[in-house]
Amino acid sequence: MSIYQELYNVKYVLKTLDVDFAVHIAHQRNDNKADLEKMISDIGFSDFISAQGLQKFTAGGYEIEFVAHRQGGRERNIVVVKEWNITAQPLPFINILIEFSELAEMDDFFIRFPIPEAFFLHKLIIAQKRRNDAKQAKDLDQCTILKDIINHDQLGRVIKSQKMSKDTRRCIHISSEAIEYPLHEYDI
């Protein structure tokens, strides 16, 4: 949300100090190896293993973790990314965020981030799958903030690119109704 505030001038009050990096797990290639654990530790972060076995990093109140796309089910096996010396938490629908992203330069850094339409769709889906009411409310609040900057044609392209189950479509409709966002123009 901080990126959307900076680039799209959206107003969002809540702040989070956790930074999630989505990793696309593909074929291991020798030329793409990097010791991210060492790099992150070298800038002052300490690594620790969560109760679920996921490697995380913390410093100055910030917490860094890596996430990867997970297909189906709720199985929570940790993904070991050997070529980067990290572990990632597999989560559903991360592919939407990875497949529809942009690159921006902010404070002399380049950062890849999901386009607002991809993030919006992701949150519409995830909100209804949350077991925690506070996290669900936060997801829907973020959608409410973003709905004013959504490019409807781009959202349509993101939606059409996804193969969605009936349950996922139901989640999107429930979330859309909750934030009063019209989905009638999309074939969901």
Write down how long the chain is. 188
Q: Evaluate whether residue 157 is within a structural domain.
A: yes
* pLDDT the model gives residue 26: 53
Q: Evaluate whether residue 109 is within a structural domain.
A: yes
Cβ partners under 8 Å of residue 114, min gap 6: 96, 97, 98, 100, 101, 122
Q: By residue range, what is the domain housing residue 164?
A: 2-178
* pLDDT the model gives residue 25: 61
* pLDDT the model gives residue 31: 66
Q: Evaluate whether residue 184 is within a structural domain.
A: no
Q: What average pLDDT does the structure give for the chain?
A: 88
User: 16: domain CATH number?
Assistant: 3.30.460
Range 144-169 average pLDDT? 94
CB-CB contact of 28 with 82 (8 Å): yes
> Above 60 in pLDDT, residue 158?
yes
Q: pLDDT tens-digit profile of 95-138?
A: 999 999 999 988 888 889 999 999 999 999 999 999 999 999 99
Q: Evaluate whether residue 187 is within a structural domain.
A: no
Least confident range of 10-19, 79-88, 122-131: 10-19
**Short-list 101, 119, 97, CA closest to 1:** 119
Q: What's the pTM value of the predicted model, to 2 decimals? A: 0.87
Q: Evaluate whether residue 70 is within a structural domain.
A: yes
**Total domain count, the chain:** 1
